[in-house]
Amino acid sequence: MLKLLHPFMPFITEEIWSFLPETSSRLIKADWPKASEKENFEKAEANMEFIMEAVRSIRNTRAEMNVAPSRKARAIFVPSKDEAVEFIQTGAQYFATLANITEIKIVHDKTQIGEDTASSVMEGTEIYLPLADLIDFEKEIERLEKEKSRLQGELDRVVGKLNNEKFMSKAPESVVNEEKEKMAKYESMMEKVVERLEHLKAK
């Protein structure tokens, strides 16, 4: 890099060069660096891929729970591979910056987690985010109750249409099928909301 910059910044690059170890000659006379066949970046590449995937997993977990990316949280890693431990430690600063993780804990036994969490699985590790860091339980229950009421209203509307003989006899088949698809979608959403509510209320 210094060699490339030298024509544009000769004095500064020469000054920096003079402080580097094993640089007896001036930069302008120095040979161009040569690539070494011994250099192996496979581990560094694997490390960065691991970190990127972990950041994606954490962000996805937040998104699934409607948690703002700006909300700080802890992360508990349960590695399944030895090299993952080193990768996790190396990635600490990236997790803090890119995923708003304030503290990292590495455990090898899930019983050590000891609190309710949201989890994700990736190659080499499982990642657990404590729910207490992600949500306000009372506000989340309130939000889910509103969502439950909204979905019930949508279901009542769709079921009312499908039970209406006049609508069923006059509406095109495509419109009827569309309403049936809506009903299936709302029923699925309602099931998930009810399940989540029951889980939170049991705390």
CATH number for region 137-201 = 1.10.287
pTM above 0.75, yes or no: no
Q: Boundaries of CATH 1.10.287 in the chain?
A: 137-201
**% of the chain with per-residue pLDDT over 70:** 88
Query: 143-179 pLDDT, tens per residue?
Result: 889 999 999 999 999 999 999 999 999 999 999 999 9
CATH superfamily of 42-134: Class I aminoacyl-tRNA synthetases (RS) (3.30.2320.20)
The CA distance from 90 to 146, in Å, is 42
pLDDT, position 177: 96
Q: Which residues neighbour 68 within 8 Å (Cβ) at sequence distance 6 or greater?
A: 62
Query: Residue 120 pLDDT more than 70?
Result: yes
The CA distance from 100 to 88, in Å, is 15
Residue 79 near residue 106, CB atoms below 8 Å = yes
pLDDT, position 115: 79
Query: 39-55 pLDDT, tens per residue?
Result: 667 888 899 999 999 99
Decide: residue 200, CB within 10 A, 0-12 exposed, 13-18 middle, 19+ buried: middle
**2 pLDDT band (50/70/90 cuts)?**
low
pLDDT, position 40: 62
Q: Boundaries of CATH 3.30.2320.20 in the chain?
A: 42-134
